[in-house]
Amino acid sequence: MAVATAVGEGEAEMIDSTRRRGGSRPATAGPDDAWLVEVAEGASRDAGGVPVELLGDYLSLLADAATHGRQAKRGELDAVGLLGRRAAEQGISAGRVVQLYLSAARRLWQDLPMVVRSRDNKAVRAAASAVLQVIDEAVATLADGYAVARRDLVRREETLRRELVDDLLRGDSDLGTLVERAEPFGLDLARVHQVALAAPSRRLPDADAAISALEAVIFDRLGDRDVLVATKDGLLVVLAPADAAAAGRPPSALDPSNEIGRLMHRELNRLRRGRPWRVAVGRPHPGLYGIARSYEEAREALAMAGRLHTDTPVINAHDLLIYRVLLRDQPAIVDLVQAVLSPLTHSRFGASPLLDTLNAYFATGGVATESAKRLHVAVRTVTYRLDRVKTLTGYDPADPAHRFTLQAAVLGAKMLNWPQEPLPNPA
């Protein structure tokens, strides 16, 4: 979506000075130059209705070149470049603007023999050479002006988009102002949205390439309404719509909103840089403050995945709710780990092997054989370690009454990175 910017006062005055001389006619066309008006109008039709005013003095330059051999001056070419800028700012495609200029040149050349009749072959060749040189210089200058304007528009749009994303994710901006700023980007802040964050394995040197790749695939899947792709704090941010019925519901394999993380991860892994990527998806929430809430959930999920040393590439905030609950009372979870698991440090090989065994045992539903496969050890090793846990802590992993306490303590130890790091002071 292009965000229009105003032409500078000097540029507008320069272009308007050419327009005032002829209105919708070629700028220097006089009463005897009605044929130039017809050429301009025909070229406009050929180009799909591109405004005649974007030709400026171009046809008069071609006519002077054909009849007198006069080449365009620098100031006249600069005016053509400014017309290229104006075309970009009006949202007209570069192809249609170039088509306007080439069609005008073709039509003018076809009408020249009717206007200049006393020409021999040598004179015609000289006129053709002069006209072609004007066409070459004018179209090149037009394209340069168009490209400069497009770069300015893209930079301005990127700045506005980044500022909008920052305010949306912060969640404390004025709602009325945000609604007005979001409208050019196609955002309906009353809808249900979710935020997904993608973190590269190292600093991303070319964020533009990653943004372009994500925009292409996400726009193709979801459309360009209610979708924003930007960067923030070294992360790629995707704001996307979610089914209103999905708000407040757990994600499922059939829920389209749950696909955004896998879609992002699959596309980003095709890039040469940034791999391996980790993607975190916040839950869908309605309204402006729902966007900020989903963003915070995604950030917490990324941080939590780092603490847990998980190798899961796509993390859903819904799956980590239990960890959020545990972390809300850190002194209590520190006390739990200290009271339940600290005796494991008295084991011959330390607490880590026993914690790994407990984690695998709980992850496999209490099946020793599956735990052994995950740990790449013998089943007897698993059962021996579980017995050691029971002996040292007094909690039996196989006893349902003890299992919840042990599992909560193991989760807390993973979040606190214990025993690799000492436990914080519970106070």
- Using pLDDT thresholds of 50, 70 and 90, give the confidence band for residue 119: low
pTM of the predicted structure, to 2 decimals: 0.58
Q: Which domain covers residue 316, as residue numbers?
A: 189-323
Whether 304 and 358 share a structural domain = no
Whether 350 and 298 share a structural domain = no
Does the structure show a pLDDT above 50 at 10? no
> Parallel, antiparallel, or unpaired for β 285-286 and 192-199?
antiparallel
Residue type, 246: A
Residue 41: CB atoms within 10 A of its CB come to 15
Find the Cα–Cα–Cα–Cα dihedral 384, 385, 389, 391, rounded to 10°.
30
Does the structure show a pLDDT above 50 at 19? no
Does the structure show a pLDDT above 60 at 247? no
Integer Cα distance of 427 and 406 in angstroms: 23
Q: pLDDT tens-digit profile of 164-201?
A: 888 888 877 777 788 888 887 778 888 899 999 999 98
In a domain, 178, yes or no: no
Per the model's pLDDT, the better-predicted residue between 156 and 10 turns out to be: 156
Residue type, 299: R
Does the structure show a pLDDT above 50 at 241? yes
Under a CB-based contact definition with an 8 Å cutoff, are residues 246 and 318 in contact? no
Whether 193 and 310 share a structural domain = yes
Number of domains in the chain: 3
Averaged pLDDT for residues 352-363: 93
Tokens at 353, concatenated: 């092997």
In a domain, 424, yes or no: no
Q: Which residue's structure tokens are 């006619």? A: 25
> Parallel, antiparallel, or unpaired for β 228-232 and 278-281?
unpaired
In a domain, 128, yes or no: yes
Integer Cα distance of 371 and 382 in angstroms: 7
Whether 262 and 312 share a structural domain = yes
Give me the helices (H) in 185-255, please. Answer: 207-222
Does the structure show a pLDDT above 50 at 252? no
Integer Cα distance of 143 and 149 in angstroms: 10
| DSSP codes of every residue in 317-367 | GGGGHHHHHHHTTHHHHHHHHHHHHGGGGGSTT-SHHHHHHHHHHHHTTS-
Closest C-alpha to 199, from 347, 78, 314: 314
